[in-house]
Amino acid sequence: MEESLAKAVEVLRRASRVVVLTGAGVSKESGIPTFRDAQTGLWAQYDPTQLATRDAFIRDPKLVWDFYEFRREIMRPAKPNAAHHALAELESLFPEFVIITQNVDDLHERAGSRRVIRLHGRIEENKCYDDCQGDPTLVDVRTLTWDHDAGPPTCPHCGAKVRPNVVWYGEVLPSAELEAAYDASVQAQVMLIVGTSGLVTPAANMPYRAQHAGATLIEFNPVASALTSTVNIHVAAPAGDSLPRLVAALKASHV
Ligand code: OAD
């Protein structure tokens, strides 16, 4: 086992409070492109950061709705990969363990993780643009009939357009989730950082908060990220390889 992974095992053997921050990299081996991967095909000419905004939706609701329908189509067949399953197994090895994810897919939950804080929403859900019945006013579009060629359906309560239940650029994160993520970060003895470029705040602030409060940071990413210069240990390998080996080594050492 390479040195970084051995160090990670040593640190985790002594920990009881562990938090994990995941990004799109943990779902890459499930076939879901990371957020900054070049968009394929029809969407290649669009910059996702220009589509995932309120302004873009107000300007062209059909374009943004179709972009999310495209992403949902890619995500639908995706299955949890070895990294998701390893993280679900890790949860049972520590008295306190929570995953904070920036991802909008549900692969952590489908792998069996029970404590998952979703900072950026859930792409498989939709809601009223105006949250007319409270935040969020979820809308089950399967119960609606509308002209799909015309773009999104309208809210059955108020007639406003329906939008994906995800956080767009420039929007605030759900306050309860954000608070829970900060609390978990400052109480952690160890933070695992898996598959994120560390470019988008406030999610990317969590490692600094954790480290400032005394946590050891262990990054799992094949390449360097914006966080690599800050972390204590960098395991430079795909999460689908490194995390299962970490779990096996921890189990062998009877954590
Ligand atoms: P990015 O696409 O920015 O970064 C993905 C990271 O995963 C990169 O650092 C890759 O090197 C790494 N990676 C790729 N394959 C991997 C593997 N097999 N194992 C481990 N790591 C791997 O995605 P995020 O950091 O998640 O926000 O992006 C953060 C946020 O930016 C997203 O949640 C989204 C976007 O704006 C919103 O939608 C609000």
Q: What is the pTM of this model?
A: 0.95
Supply 213's token pair.
């409060």
Report pLDDT for 120: 96
Give pLDDT tens digits for 185-233. Answer: 999 999 999 999 999 999 999 999 999 999 999 999 999 999 999 999 9
104 CA → ligand 1 middle, Å? 12
Active site residues: 120
**Among 10-24, 36-50, 237-251, where is mean pLDDT lowest?**
36-50
How big is the CA angle at 74 (ends 73 and 75), to the nearest 5 degrees?
90
Cβ atoms 119, 168 nearer than 8 A: no
Q: Kindly tell me if the per-residue pLDDT of 46 is higher than 80.
A: no
Supply 210's token pair.
């954790």
The mean pLDDT of 12-29, rounded to a whole number, is 97
Q: What is the three-class DSSP state of 251?
A: helix
Q: What is the crossing angle of helices 239-252 and 3-13, to 10°?
A: 50
Ligand 1 pocket, CB under 6 A: 23-25, 28-29, 34-36, 52, 102, 120, 167, 195-197, 199-200, 220-223, 225, 238-240
Average pLDDT of the residues of the chain: 94
Phi, psi of 151 (to 5 degrees): 110, -150
